[in-house]
Structure 1
Amino acid sequence: VSIITQNIFLFNESLLENIRYARIDATDEEVFEASCLACLHEKASSLENQYHTVIGDKGHLLSGGERQRIGLARAFLKKPKILVMDEATSSLDPRTEKKVFENLDRMRREGRMASTLIFITHNMELAASADSIIDLQDKMTLVRYTDSDFE
């Protein structure tokens, strides 16, 4: 099980090591692949020392969306059977968020990643793409929706 929250913990280390934190034995190539799937590779390539750039304490050299993509890259690298995402893409632009979820879905269909994906979001368009939705209403009432409720 892996959990990605809205605010991930980052070390004052290189981008490479911050991603590799999810799987210490990962090769550089595996880290690069995970970075591509998380739509982070382009940013990494633009940095002065690319993946070897130290990102600063708590990743202060990166935007909120870039920090979230490190969390996503960690998940792609770890390839958990169950992935919980709590507002893990809230700082991504819609195009990047869509691409990340397409990559997650492809990896899942190929059997290379989470067979169960639980995401917590305020984005109803994103929620509508789920197989089922559990909506917490008035902090107490749970309402469950399935695909057929949206047809």
Structure 2
Amino acid sequence: MKLKNIFSVLAALAVLCVGAMAMAAPVPSQLGQSREAIEVAKAEIPATCNLLGYTTKDDESLITFQDPDTLEYYYVKVVTATSKIKEIEVKGATFVKGSTIINKTPNDIKLAVLDTYPDARNIVVSMDKDGNNSYYEAEFTTVKFKGEVKFNPATGVIFERELDYY
């Protein structure tokens, strides 16, 4: 009787272990979709960027890259099921937004946008403030996305970008 009880407990434990391992294994289609999402994201960012990681939540994957040359972080949102880019957000290595010195004109910023995104059109440049610091914000459209880029008014350097894909 005692041996029968031990055998029953061991059999139940084996079934639970096998079930737990089966549930913990990644679903091949999800793994393939994640790889596809990463490849799509890589095509839209500089080739020098390193993959830092990714997470999948609901129907979106957030893939994080860093450019070792500029230290910019690229946060790419991809619709996992379709492998279509939804948004790219680029954060620079600076913690201070803007400057108290303004050396650049709105026209300089417009030319900087065209230099970075040659197919940009409908460019609108405005000045914003963050505390005592001012910065330029340029909004524009391209064939693939609507962009919002923030520039340092003293240097004309981009410190933040948000690209919303159609």
Normalising by the smaller structure, the TM-score range is under 0.3
More RCO (CA 8 Å, sep 6+): 1
TM-score, normalised to structure 1's length? 0.25
- Structure with a larger share of its residues in strand: 2
- Structure with a larger share of its residues in helix: 1
Which of structures 1 and 2 has the bigger CA Rg?
2
TM-score, normalised to structure 2's length? 0.23
